[in-house]
Amino acid sequence: MITHPAIDDYIAGLVPERSELLARLEKEAAAENIPIVQLPAAQVMRMLLLLHRPQSILEVGTAIGYSTIWLAEAAPEARIVTLDIDEERLTRARANVAEAGVQDRVEILLRDATLGLPDSYQFDCLFIDAAKGQYRAFLDLYLPLLREGGLVISDNVLFRGLVATPEEATKRQRPMIDKLQAFNKHLVEHPELETTFIPVGDGLAVSLKKKK
């Protein structure tokens, strides 16, 4: 936990109600232990997209389509490509995206994200929310497909605060924490990126691809 639960609840009570679909997906994800972007982080992501107004978005990690719908609603002019390796979850994601009425703008691909995409794909925004230990690989693969001035939004980069207190991580968690720490450092030191960290949800990193 990186924020105070009472503050999260207070802020959640101030924002407009989500659609019945999004509220239902939140309950399904909680009941089935499906990782989705936390609501406060989704709200920040929505604001970033409203300001940035991307025309094309790549999402690495679809799950059941919860964040895909947030992306589509926040960027109504954007076409979205979303990747995941879990066929059963993608079947659910397709149904959920269709229920949201945004299926005409969303391309859902059953694909191992570590395989990359052809250079013909170009994006204005990259949202990374998949296997945490692979974040560096995802960035290296997809940053060349991001246009100058584009955004990289990475979720879970503070991972329950354990990146700051790794001694509290379990033995199983430690390799992932090490990789997240290295990824965060890489974001800050990357010559093509300007990065800031937002302690909301499970931690967001927001990076701007600099213009040459």
Query: Among 85, 54, 90, 89, which Cα is nearest to 72's?
Result: 54
Chain centre distance of CA 24: 19
Binding site listing: 37, 67, 84, 112-113, 129, 155-156
Angstrom distances, CA of residue 92 to CA of 86, 87, 160, 209: 10, 9, 27, 33
Given the structure tokens 């089935």, which residue do they identify?
32
Binding site listing for Mg(2+): 129, 155-156
Q: Which residues contact 3 (CB under 8 A, 6 or more apart)?
A: 40, 199, 200, 201
DSSP of 188-200: HH-TTEEEEEE-S
Binding site listing for S-adenosyl-L-methionine: 37, 67, 84, 112-113, 129
